[in-house]
């Protein structure tokens, strides 16, 4: 590809970007508009922002591994056991 043609394509991309990142942005706009239209009449509904529908494909930091005892304690706090029925 000649350098002149490459420079033309680079200039065109500056004016009218294309690609997956741009497609993701278009979908963000569409999802935001649909949500705001659907919930626009609900009392107390917070209007959606573009950032609410942002795609984030960056690698996430590894979380620390939770011990089983901690997981069990959290589950028991959320779902306490039922009292046992007395036998007659």
| pLDDT tens, position by position, 29-85 | 999 898 888 877 667 778 888 888 887 777 667 677 888 999 898 888 877 777 777
pLDDT value for 5: 92
pTM above 0.85, yes or no: no
For residue 88, pLDDT over 70 is answered with no
Task: Tell me the residue range of the domain where 44 lies.
Answer: 20-55
Total of domains in the chain: 1
CB 45 within 8 A of CB 39: yes
Let me know if residue 45 belongs to a domain.
Answer: yes
CB contact at 8 A, 35 and 48 = yes
- 15 lies in some domain: no
pLDDT attached to residue 62 = 67
Using alpha carbons, list the distances in angstroms from residue 49 to 36, 37, 41, 58: 9, 13, 16, 20
14 in any annotated domain: no
pLDDT for position 30: 92
Q: Is residue 66 part of a domain?
A: no
**pLDDT (0 to 100) of residue 4:** 93
């Amino acid at each position: 590809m000649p350098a002149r043609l490459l420079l033309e394509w680079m200039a065109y991309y500056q004016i009218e970007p294309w690609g997956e990142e741009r497609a993701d942005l278009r979908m963000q706009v569409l999802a935001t508009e649909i949500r705001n239209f659907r919930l626009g009449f609900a009392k107390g509904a917070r209007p959606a922002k573009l950032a609410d529908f942002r795609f984030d494909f960056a690698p996430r930091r590894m979380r620390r591994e939770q011990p089983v005892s901690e997981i069990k304690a959290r589950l028991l706090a959320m779902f306490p056991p039922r009292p046992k029925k007395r036998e007659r």
